[in-house]
Amino acid sequence: MKIESADSLYKKGHLLINYALENTPEVNKLDSDENPYEEPPPKVKECYQKAVKAFEKCLELDPNFVNAWKEKAVCCNFLKMYEEGLFSIEKAIALKPDDFMLWNIKWICLYRLGRMEESNQAWKVMNDLGKKEKE
């Protein structure tokens, strides 16, 4: 029986995301009206689904693995699983509240869910953190 560590499961998920990105149509090769993320090729969608599962297994072993929560949220957004993505990114923010990128992902989740007031609040936090990083 193969025993996987949280770190190896995170790496597996990350490799699946990289593979999916390599197989996603490039934006500059598309007509202006096409959206490369509207209906991804089945192979790409399957990679993101497998990545979510890898991150979930990682988080079972280490629920404080911030990057696993973040990457799971990114995958969920790609798969249009916005509520689950929001849940995951909120877990990451609880562990690392001053991370600009986490708030960026939260803003995207809320925006895609149509929760504009909350989205605007996340945008403000994200911008404030971005200003602090530049100082």
Give 67-111 pLDDT, tens digit per residue. Answer: 999 999 999 998 999 999 999 999 999 999 999 999 999 999 999
Q: Where would I find the H helices in 62-99?
A: 66-78, 82-95
What average pLDDT score do residues 109-126 get? 94
pTM of the model: 0.85
Please check the confidence at residue 5 and state whether its pLDDT lies above 90: yes
Q: Assess contact for 109 and 70: CB atoms under 8 A.
A: no
For the CA atoms of 25, 26, 30, 33, the dihedral, rounded to the nearest 10 degrees, stands at 90
Cβ count near 111 (within 10 Å):
16
Could you tell me the fold of the domain covering 6-98? 1.25.40
Share of the chain above pLDDT 70, in %: 84
Nearest-angstrom CA–CA distance, 2 and 63: 21
Q: Assess contact for 77 and 85: CB atoms under 8 A.
A: yes
3-class secondary structure, 5: coil
pLDDT tens readout for residues 40-56: 778 888 999 999 999 99
Please check the confidence at residue 2 and state whether its pLDDT lies above 50: yes
